[in-house]
Structure 1
């Protein structure tokens, strides 16, 4: 699944949002109405099974964490496809040479507390050496309470992690902070597990050059982080 495609022009955001909601309601939304900078995981049996387990009220905490980590790894792996690579040649144990790829240096992940904190384990399982920063924003006042970034974040590609995109205010505040710190919009990849159509439309309307990866567009389980940390 390619991350960078020919851009579609969505000048009337309300029309896109209306189509999102109409198609989501029928659970048969068409992918051609989704802007190209939003990527939803393919609805394979594995993905749907994981989503089902995470939505089931009878799922125990230990099972929830196990399957949530699996689904988050799938979303993160898709997000890694959006980062820059370079060609390398390595020598195999048999003495042959193999032409492959390697990450370009300068990537980092930013966890949007508390929703993004539950994605840190999966992120480290996918990228052991990637630096992880933090943003804490109060939901009521929409005020940045704390942030910790790599000092050269303006030169990095950033994976912004928020497991749930139910509303967009906090995420938009975080995106504005990253841009104020010098991060290019095109260098930001927003990673989420569950997203509402409304939040996606509002984010894309304000930040048209970021890319968004999610496993599902529709109803979101707002207790996701609480369930993951066992505080529900």
Structure 2
């Protein structure tokens, strides 16, 4: 299936949606307008609610003047929101318990086991949030880099739980541009026996092109993202974006 991943024109990049943000008890005139995520037509792409909190956090990590310590702190907060939302997409079973007062409570529990798989190295920045939400969770690794001769992604390394095929997998990578690396990571998981519908792909910022390409190739897989950005530039960088996530998180 062919997909057009050519960068959009400048005119297309200028069409960024905006909305008034702030508490509902304030009139629209008293609430500032802010750029929010583009909407998408793909049913398996889930965008976090564009709340004032989320937009404020994204504003901090997009700012080129934000120092590394603050970038890490605010990125971790967004990652936590992503993991919390992803867990809402996992199936549950009825589970009745008894409270300390001797009363019964009809609740639920998750169906099956989960694990995280990070696409090295930027995806490893999302592991802490997963561990904070899921104690003792197992996390695998996949290393994919672009071949300089062919400009295509190339698999260098993978280390996954032996029973990964029996788990629900949260695939972690903060940026979804064209989707080449993430698509290869999904291919690796499927080759290990993980059903497509048991994979949830978590990322902070996605391009419309990458999200569409990903959703069309794997319609049963779910993408959970904080923001779908304006598009890709001529170098296939997400714009307005936030720069190189791995560099800003680990080195700058």
Aligned residue for 1:25?
15
Aligned residues: 216
Which residue matches 1:194? Answer: 205
Q: Distance in 2 between matches of 1:24 and 1:193?
A: 21
TM-score, normalising length from structure 2? 0.79
Shift of residue 102 of structure 1? 1.4
Matches within 5 A, 1:55-204: 55-140=62-147, 142-204=153-215
RMSD over aligned Cα, in angstroms?
2.3
- Listed as ranges, the gaps of 5+ residues in structure 2 are 19-36, 230-238
Q: How many angstroms does 1:142 deviate by?
A: 2.0
- Post-superposition, which runs of at least 4 consecutive aligned residues in structure 1 deviate over 3 A? 11-14, 21-24, 28-31
Q: Which deviates further from its counterpart, 178-187 or 101-110?
A: 101-110
**TM-score computed with the length of structure 1 as normaliser:** 0.85
Q: What is the CA-CA distance between 1:167 and the residue it aligns to?
A: 2.5
Q: Using a 3 Å threshold, how does the CA distance of structure 1 residues 106 and 205 change in structure 2: closer, same or farther?
A: same
Which of 79-88 and 67-76 deviates more? 79-88
Query: What is the CA–CA distance in structure 2 between the aligned matches of 1:93 and 1:66, rounded to whole Å?
Result: 37
Q: Contact between 1:161 and 1:190, CA under 8 Å: does it hold in 2?
A: yes
1: CA distance, partners of 2:109 / 2:42: 29
1:221 pairs, out of 242, 246, 249, with 242
Q: Which has the larger radius of gyration?
A: 2
Q: Which has the higher helix share?
A: 1
Structure 1 segments unaligned to the other structure (5+ residues)? 1-10
The structure with the greater share of residues assigned to strand is 2
